[in-house]
Amino acid sequence: MSRPVTLVTGGGRGIGAAVCRRLGADGHDLAIGYRRDTEAAEKLAEELRAAGGAAVAIRLDTAVEAEVERFFDRAAEQLGAATGLVNNAGVTSPRGPLAELRTEDLRRVVDVNLVGYLLCARRAARD
């Protein structure tokens, strides 16, 4: 029987990394989507491989459609077809009163937390 292949956005650190560890322990092969911390994502992938699973870290900005497509394509090339998605990536705006937040910060929150979530869900539904 083949192992499930799960893609985890925002998987390199924090809650996403904990999800990856749990899924890995439960027999999933994992594509770890991360945006900035290459070192943490690669270290996690190595940890999961050392425990007997397959894992790959793939840089991803979920707000960029081409990067979402590349993430799914590279995961399929390296691990096989996705059987699951944990749509975990998210950002917050800088702290402060709403009246003082910059428009570009607000757009980034919406682009990642809403549009990025939907881009990933749409691609998963198509596969």
Sign of CA dihedral 12, 17, 21, 26: negative
Task: Using the predicted structure, report yes or no on whether residue 45 has a pLDDT greater than 80.
Answer: yes
User: Is 5-126 CATH 3.40.50.720?
Assistant: yes
10's CB contacts (< 8 A; 6+ apart) are 16, 33, 34, 35, 62, 88, 89, 90
pLDDT tops 70 at residue 75: yes
User: What is the Rg, in whole angstroms, of the alpha carbon atoms belonging to the chain?
Assistant: 15
In tens, the pLDDT along 92-126 reads 999 999 999 999 999 999 999 999 999 999 999 99
Integer Cα distance of 96 and 112 in angstroms: 20
Domain-wise residue ranges, the chain: 5-126
Cα separation values, 52 from 46, 49, 62, Å:
10, 5, 28
pLDDT in tens, 3-33: 999 999 999 999 999 999 999 999 999 999 9
Cβ atoms of 84 and 20 closer than 8 Å: no
